[in-house]
Amino acid sequence: MSSLLAYLPQHEGLLPKWLFFVGVTAVGNLVQAYRTLHFTSQVYLSPDPDRVKPPPGYQHPSETTPLHSRTFGTWTLLQGLVRLYAAYNVDVAGLYQLAMLTNIVAMWHFGTEWFVFGTTSWNKGLAGPVFVSIGTTLWMTLQYGFYVK
């Protein structure tokens, strides 16, 4: 067990371990996004079919297509790689800020899909990314001076 712990970020505090966790989770998200529409379609289900008009003849009730799922998985992987790199270099200002920006971009993306485009609604699929992006952004903002000297 101690040999596995040696691979975790060695900086003090919990934030580097959290960034490691969400980075690894992103890799898992990539795998599921390439294999199935199940989880991605839990995030992107239009609550109001009158708000988002599908093209004539469109039969699939979900906003999620296989292409969209794979694109979303790749986007999540990119964000996860930034967070993993920041977890091991949490004292480097540019990487810390870049990791914060990945969460801000996620908040913007999910917020606009919910409030502007109407392609999602509040549900368990949306709650996770929203809580993680908001919580991590607040945490990183409050801890900036502790990690970045």
For the stretch 8-53, pLDDT in tens is 888 999 999 999 999 999 988 999 999 988 888 777 765 555 555 5
Q: Per the domain annotation, does 129 fall within a domain?
A: yes
Q: Per the domain annotation, does 7 fall within a domain?
A: no
Domain count, the chain: 1
Sequence-ordered alpha helix ranges (H) in 36-88 = 38-43, 66-88
Q: Per the domain annotation, does 3 fall within a domain?
A: no
- Least confident among 4-8, 51-55, 122-126: 51-55
pLDDT at residue 39, as a whole number: 81
* pTM, entire model: 0.84
Distance CA 45, CA 59 (A): 14
Q: Per the domain annotation, does 8 fall within a domain?
A: no
Q: Per the domain annotation, does 6 fall within a domain?
A: no
pLDDT at residue 146, as a whole number: 97
Range of the domain at 43: 13-147
Whole-number CA gyration radius for the chain: 17
15-35 helix and 66-88 helix, angle to the nearest 10 degrees: 160
Report whether 40 contacts 64 (CB < 8 A): yes
Q: Per the domain annotation, does 2 fall within a domain?
A: no
Q: Per the domain annotation, does 110 fall within a domain?
A: yes
The yes-or-no verdict on residue 59 having pLDDT over 70 is: no
